[in-house]
């Protein structure tokens, strides 16, 4: 399989389009794949879909081998089946490669759709989605850790109903199609059905935030829309309730911390410091906006924007489901996520210097 192949070229073009749409993909999130014969070409872990036409971000693996190892219950069904690719970088197949292998469709798109996540974090999400996806072949997967546990849950859904659309609680959306055009058309239809108009939020007080941040390792978030997390009371309440989905945890840490009345930024940073003494990735200043750590990568800042986009699509009175402490610990202790974060940050920082 080469990059001159028409189907691979189509995958790269589609992947880049998806990666440039912040309502579908944020930073190094999301992944796409193509099956041709016994080869599964899948996005590499930690790379950015937005750069699919500029960089060799895909890794080939032997499809039958991956499926056989999944069936045998092997801990790493992907690594031993990697094939030579067209990159001189030591790329690893996506942590969701097993998910792509399990689904039978030639083209699979896994996106962190803001609209889908706005439903996927709700306690009543499955029932509400069912009304909107009537007539499509779809499945709802209760939250399980990404990677092999998720692939096993999807395999059960495939055996029951052969879905073309998969909604994963507290995670995202997967669609499959016969080719890139079919998969994109289905994704567009699902997005239309799940679309939610965002609430308006008061603008951030950038001057006030900058003043508060003086002498601290924080700065105002660069995305004007992100400040809605703290200026919209409903978003603020939901954000401080806990962690809603894996990428927030991996790139921003657990939940979100808001300044208490009369509390300084420095005091809030000390209160919310991580186990190794590092300041949190972001701080919410109620009524004013969002401060992010000065060294937060472009990938991390994209996750702040994603949180704002999601929360403004969640009704103030919607019942939400947050990741449990045990689920957070499982993700943070997973070597695959540690690798993805390190590579995602390095790619993000390179993108910052290239802009």
The tens digit of pLDDT for each residue in 211-229 reads 999 999 999 999 999 999 9
pLDDT of residue 191: 98
Contact call for residues 190 and 173 (beta carbons, < 8 A): yes
Strands (E), 45-203: 58-62, 107-111, 138-141, 165-168, 172-177
Instruction: Specify the 3-state DSSP secondary structure of 317.
Output: coil
Select the more confidently predicted residue: 33 or 341.
33
Question: What number is the average pLDDT over the span 124-140?
Answer: 98
φ/ψ bin of 311: left (φ > 0), alpha (ψ from -120 to 50), beta (otherwise): alpha
What percentage of the chain carries pLDDT values higher than 90? 87
Contact call for residues 181 and 100 (beta carbons, < 8 A): no
pLDDT of residue 80: 95
pLDDT of residue 350 exceeding 60: no
Weakest mean pLDDT among 31-35, 62-66, 277-281, 330-334? 330-334
pLDDT of residue 154: 95
Contact call for residues 183 and 167 (beta carbons, < 8 A): no
Indicate the length of the chain as a whole number.
355
- Is the whole-model pTM more than 0.85? yes
6-194: CATH topology: L-fuculose-1-phosphate Aldolase (3.40.225)
The tens digit of pLDDT for each residue in 94-108 reads 999 999 999 999 999
Torsion sign (Cα): 169, 336, 239, 223: negative
Contacts of 161 (CB under 8 A, 6+ apart): 137, 139
CA–CA gap between residue 98 and residue 221 (Å, rounded)? 35
Backbone angles phi, psi at 109, to 5 degrees: -120, 120
Beta partners for 93? 44
CA–CA gap between residue 287 and residue 232 (Å, rounded)? 7
Going from N- to C-terminal start, the domains of the chain cover 6-194, 206-312+323-354
Tokens 């895909």 -> residue: 58
Question: What number is the average pLDDT over the span 182-198?
Answer: 98
């Amino acid at each position: 399989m080469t990059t001159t192949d028409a189907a691979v070229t189509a995958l790269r073009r589609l992947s880049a389009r998806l990666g440039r749409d912040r309502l579908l993909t944020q930073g190094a999130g999301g992944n796409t794949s193509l099956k041709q014969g016994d080869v599964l070409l899948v996005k590499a872990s930690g790379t950015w879909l937005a750069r699919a036409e500029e960089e060799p971000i895909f890794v080939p693996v032997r499809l039958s081998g991956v499926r056989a190892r999944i069936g045998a219950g092997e801990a790493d069904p992907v690594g031993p089946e990697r094939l030579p690719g067209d990159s001189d970088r030591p790329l690893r197949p996506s942590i969701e490669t097993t998910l792509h292998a399990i689904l039978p469709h030639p083209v699979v798109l896994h996106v962190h759709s803001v609209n889908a996540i706005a439903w996927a974090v709700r306690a009543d999400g499955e029932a509400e989605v069912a009304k909107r996806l009537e007539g499509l072949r779809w499945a709802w997967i209760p939250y399980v850790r990404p990677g092999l546990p998720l692939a096993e849950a999807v395999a059960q859904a495939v055996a029951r109903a052969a879905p073309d659309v998969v909604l994963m609680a507290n995670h995202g959306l997967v669609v499959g199609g016969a080719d890139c055009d079919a998969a994109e058309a289905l994704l567009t239809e699902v997005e239309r059905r799940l679309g939610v108009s965002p609430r308006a939020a008061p603008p951030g007080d950038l001057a006030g935030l900058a003043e508060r941040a003086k002498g601290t390792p924080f700065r105002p978030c660069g995305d004007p829309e992100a400040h809605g997390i703290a200026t919209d009371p409903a978003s603020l309440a939901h954000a401080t309730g806990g962690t809603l989905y894996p990428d927030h945890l991996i790139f921003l840490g657990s939940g979100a911390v808001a300044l208490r009345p009369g509390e300084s930024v420095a005091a809030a940073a000390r209160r919310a410091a991580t186990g190794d003494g590092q300041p949190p990735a972001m701080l919410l200043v109620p009524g004013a906006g969002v401060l992010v750590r000065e060294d937060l990568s472009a990938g991390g800042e994209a996750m702040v924007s994603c949180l704002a986009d999601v929360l403004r699509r969640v009704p103030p009175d919607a019942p939400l489901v947050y990741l449990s402490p045990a689920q957070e610990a499982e993700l943070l202790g997973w070597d695959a996520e540690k690798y993805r974060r390190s590579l995602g940050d390095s790619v993000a920082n390179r993108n910052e210097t290239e802009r």
